[in-house]
Amino acid sequence: MNELSKESVTFLEVGEDGAGQRIDNFLLKRLKGVPKSHVYRILRSGEVRVNKGRAAADRRLELGDRVRVPPVRIAEKSSEVPVPPREFSLVYEDDGLIAIDKPAGVAVHGGSGVDFGVIEQIRRARPEARFLELAHRLDRETSGLLLIGKKRSALTRLHDLFRNGGIDKRYLALVKGHWRDKLRNVKLPLLKYLTPEGERRVRVSDEGKEAHSIMRLKGRWTSAHGAFSLLEVELRTGRTHQIRVHLAHLGFPILGDEKYGDFTLNRDLQKTGLKRMFLHAQSMRFAHPLTGERLELVAELSDDLKRYLELLGPVDGTD
């Protein structure tokens, strides 16, 4: 592999250690000393090319891909933020994968203004581990199940399962409003875009990608702040911000959602104890990527979300 140069264009060939990785993670590991904000800027601007074509930050690399890297700016080492080691609440672990219960407010990886995330902290806490890679993503504000591959073969298989609908993923969301249907299929295409300030957003658009969510009503409440409903959401596709945008578009924003929610209501609810977005990745069911054994993983609601449901009082019912 060529050494990186800050003065000239560099070409990197993707080996086995990089195959299957997102290109942003691939570059962040190889451009040591380059500010994360700069890595994402050259990706957004199209200066990074894969096999001569533009590449978005979420592009997954394949063995043998040729990555063009433009001249980059090296930061002083003193400006780097040290990554503190951290282990997270463990739901499951074996030789092939780790499943943790990610807390809300923690990014899954560094980038876009975040110096480090779950994966960097776990790697720091396990210096003897030869391979640790995220199998998927959770929004920073979302809590719950997060899978990490411990072997390349397990990671590749998990990627296939996520891509082909082989993982039954279910979330719990508390939303504004009186949801009526016991079960509802929501099929609304989603389009990613950037705001004038450069922030990533998603909206329902016929120009977007297919997105399918299944909503199941678990309970309803009437409070001093209005009607609320608890939904179990099954994801048949895994688009960015899918649950949040589908529900907001339908008029049932998730409580505490600072991107797509009811901002006035969110401020009021903070005074009553809801300090975060009420969206939790509760369960996954899938065949083990190495053995084929059926796994059912569950991360229960955190204590703060349980307490908030208790504060709402008796359930109105679902009939």
Which residues carry out catalysis?
Answer: 139
257's tokens: 């959602």
**Contacts for 280 with CB less than 8 Å, ≥ 6 apart:** 142, 143, 144, 171, 172, 173, 299, 301, 302, 305
Tell me the β-bridge partners of 100.
Answer: 90, 146
Contact 157, 151 (CB under 8 A): no
Closest by Cα among 117, 118, 150, 147 to 131:
150
d(CA 85, CA 105): 17
Strands (DSSP E) contained in 139-211 are 143-149, 168-176, 183-187, 190-194, 200-204
Rounded to a whole number, what is the largest CA-CA distance in the chain?
67
Task: Using alpha carbons only, give the angle 161, 162, 164 rounded to the nearest 5 degrees.
Answer: 65
Closest by Cα among 249, 250, 254, 260 to 228:
254
d(CA 138, CA 143): 8
27's tokens: 């570059």
Residue 206 buriedness (CB in 10 A; 0-12 / 13-18 / 19+): exposed
Query: By 3-state DSSP, what share of the chain in percent is helix, strand and coil, each rounded to 5?
Result: 20, 30, 50
39's tokens: 């890595």
Q: How far is CA 209 from CA 77, 189, 192, 237, 311, in A?
A: 41, 5, 9, 10, 38
